[in-house]
């Protein structure tokens, strides 16, 4: 028989507070048209994007995260010292080690929490949320700070017609804490590694620094391109439209929720047409508020769901206690969907 005492956590977990940070610089489609052959009309109609935010040198991954976290902690009504773990989901923090989570934990005054980064692309927020819930119920932390943050402008090839207009920068954060009733449903998540080539970096850091220079992609000035994110737009689009609606439905079923019970739908902000298609396939009733933050934020990967959540609450389109379906999907390919009670 085991001599180990069982760990004591909270019966359930819930999102207690949310915060967001959007870089000061707003970039309209006209700026994108300086480097690709396209039109404002094409970008709007094919993606739904009108403007996005690009970070300045000062708006680092850490700085944006700290701003978003401060708001989330205040919104949750706790102090930084009560944070037992910090999880940062990002693909655009360029220092391999140490994890940026440790710097953020220190700079927000959280003391000595567990702190680590995860890489799960545009599903990163859902992955972090699921880990946080597990930690709270298992008892290894009472409050967990989950941050999704990206500076995708650093990984965007402005000469690539398929991606130049898509990406934006920003940070979103939530505080997850104990609850007496279920407020984060079972997560439906997974990966399809056979499709890992559909969204990827053009070259690895290794190839850039020690590889054969003659094989590296060059820009229009003949200079070696910085590794950027490329994608097979149509394959990803089809996968998102057909497969992710099924995953979203599975998350509703797992939570025992019907579309009529939902108040809010917050899908990853990848493309307005993907969002519209999911709403149709899921047969969401008229009363369900749908996040359409992509119009002014672009695709901010791991930051997109908490940023959209924060805006819906801040603008009164959603309210505390609402039942929301969240689903993230992207590079990997990976996905994560769950039903949550809004903070
Ligand atoms: C990127 C995306 C908006 C492109 O839209 P699309 O309708 O698939 O575009 P296509 O690549 O099929 O190209 C359609 C036409 O537009 C043209 N086109 C492509 N990019 C263009 C651009 N930036 N401006 C103007 N025309 C463009 C193509 O040349 C093609 O022209 P043709 O019909 O004369 O051959 C869309 O595929 C998408 O959103 N994919 C998923 C993105 C995503 O979610 N990624 C991240 C997941 S986390």
Please name the residue whose Cα sits nearest to atom 1 of ligand 1: 233
- Taking only the tens place, the pLDDT of each residue in 184-225 is 999 999 999 999 999 998 888 877 777 666 777 777 777 777
Q: pLDDT tens digit string along 70-129?
A: 999 999 999 999 999 999 999 999 998 999 999 999 999 999 999 999 999 999 999 999
Q: How many CA atoms lie within 13 A of 13 on its CB side?
A: 29
Q: What is the DSSP letter of 196?
A: G
Query: Is there a contact between 74 and 19 (Cβ–Cβ < 8 Å)?
Result: yes
Instruction: Give the distance (Å) from ligand 1 centre to CA of residue 41.
Output: 13
In a domain, 214, yes or no: no
- Calculate the CA 155 to chain-centre distance: 16
Rg of the chain, C-alpha, whole Å: 20
Tell me whether the omega of the peptide bond preceding residue 229 falls within 30 degrees of 0, making it cis: no
Q: What is the pLDDT of residue 54?
A: 98
My answer on whether 193 and 141 are in the same domain is no
**Structure confidence at residue 338 (pLDDT):** 98
CA distance 305 to 335: 13
In a domain, 7, yes or no: no
The answer for 111, left when phi > 0, alpha when psi is -120 to 50, beta otherwise, is: left
144/269 same-domain check: no
From the candidates 53, 93, 143, 268, give the one annotated as an active-site residue: 268
Name the β-bridge partners of 83: 143
What's the structural domain count of the chain?
2
Is residue 287 among the annotated active site residues?
A: no
Taking 70 as the threshold, does the pLDDT of residue 287 lie above it? yes
Neighbours of 77 (CB within 10 A): 11
Identify the DSSP state of 321.
Answer: T
12 touches ligand 1 (CB under 6 Å): no
Helical segments of the chain, H only: 29-32, 40-47, 61-76, 100-107, 124-138, 205-210, 233-255, 272-281, 294-297, 304-314
Q: What CA–CA distance (Å, rounded) separates 115 from 100?
A: 8
Ligand 1 centroid vs 234 CA: distance in angstroms? 7
Residue 210, in any domain of the structure? no
Q: Are residues 306 and 157 in the same domain?
A: no
State residue 211's pLDDT score.
66
User: Is any ligand 1 atom within 6 A of the Cβ of residue 330?
Assistant: yes
> Under a CB-based contact definition with an 8 Å cutoff, are residues 18 and 172 in contact?
yes
Does residue 250 share a domain with residue 169? no
Does residue 98 share a domain with residue 135? yes
Q: Are residues 159 and 195 in the same domain?
A: no
Q: Are residues 276 and 159 in the same domain?
A: no
Q: How far apart are CA 160 and CA 219, in angstroms?
A: 10
Rounded to whole angstroms, the Cα distance separating 303 from 195 reads 23
Main-chain dihedrals φ then ψ at residue 37, nearest 5 degrees: -85, 105
Same domain, residue pair 84 and 148? yes
Is residue 165 located within the same domain as residue 196? Answer: no
Nearest residue to 338 (alpha-carbon basis) of 101, 151, 176: 176
Task: Clarify whether residues 144 and 252 are in a common domain.
Answer: no
Q: Which domain holds residue 27?
A: 12-179
CA nearest ligand 1 atom 16, residue: 42
Whole-number Å distance, alpha carbon 162 to ligand 1 midpoint, is 6
Give the three-state DSSP class for 51.
strand
Q: Is residue 220 part of a domain?
A: no
Answer yes or no: pTM beyond 0.85: yes
The order of strands in the sheet holding 83-89 is: 12-21, 169-179, 143-151, 83-89, 114-118
Please work out whether the CB of residue 161 comes within 6 Å of at least one atom of ligand 1: yes
Residue 49 falls within a domain, yes or no? Answer: yes
User: Is 299 an active-site residue?
Assistant: yes
* Domain at 69, CATH number: 3.40.47.10
- Please report, in angstroms and rounded to a whole number, the separation of the first and last CA atoms in the chain: 41
User: β-pairing, 229-231 with 188-191?
Assistant: unpaired
175 and 196 together in one domain:
no
Mean pLDDT of the chain: 95
Decide if 215 is inside a domain. no
Find out whether 253 and 277 touch, Cβ atoms under 8 Å. no
């Amino acid at each position: 028989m085991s001599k180990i005492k069982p760990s004591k956590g909270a019966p359930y977990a819930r999102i207690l507070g949310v915060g967001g940070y959007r870089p000061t610089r707003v970039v309209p489609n006209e700026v994108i048209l300086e480097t690709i052959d396209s039109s404002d009309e094409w970008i709007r109609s094919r993606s739904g994007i009108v403007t996005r935010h690009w970070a300045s040198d000062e708006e680092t991954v850490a700085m944006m995260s700290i701003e978003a976290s401060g708001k989330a902690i205040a919104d949750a009504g706790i102090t930084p010292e009560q944070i037992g773990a910090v999880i940062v989901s990002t693909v655009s923090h360029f220092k391999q080690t140490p994890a940026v989570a440790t710097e953020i934990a220190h700079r927000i005054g959280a003391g000595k929490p567990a702190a680590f980064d995860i890489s799960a692309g545009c599903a990163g927020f859902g992955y972090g949320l699921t880990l946080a819930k597990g930690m709270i119920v298992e008892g290894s932390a009472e409050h967990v700070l989950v941050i999704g943050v990206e500076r995708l402008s650093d990984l965007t090839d402005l000469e690539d017609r398929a991606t130049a207009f898509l990406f934006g920068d920003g940070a979103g954060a939530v505080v997850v804490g104990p609850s007496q009733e279920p407020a984060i449903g079972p997560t439906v998540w997974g990966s399809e590694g056979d499709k890992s080539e559909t969204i990827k970096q053009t070259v690895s850091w290794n190839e850039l620094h020690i590889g054969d220079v003659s094989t590296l992609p060059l820009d229009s000035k003949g200079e070696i391109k910085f590794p950027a994110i490329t994608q097979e737009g149509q394959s990803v689009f089809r996968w998102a439209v057909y497969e992710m609606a099924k995953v979203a439905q599975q998350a509703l079923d797992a939570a025992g929720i019907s579309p009529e019970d939902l108040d809010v739908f917050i899908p990853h902000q990848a493309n307005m047409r993907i969002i519209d298609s999911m709403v149709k396939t899921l047969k969401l009733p008229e009363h369900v508020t749908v996040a359409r933050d992509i119009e002014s934020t672009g695709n901010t990967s791991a930051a997109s769901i908490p940023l959209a959540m924060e805006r819906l609450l801040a603008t009164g389109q959603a309210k505390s206690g609402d039942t929301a379906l969240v689903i993230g999907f992207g590079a990997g390919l990976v996905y994560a969907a769950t039903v949550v009670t809004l903070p």
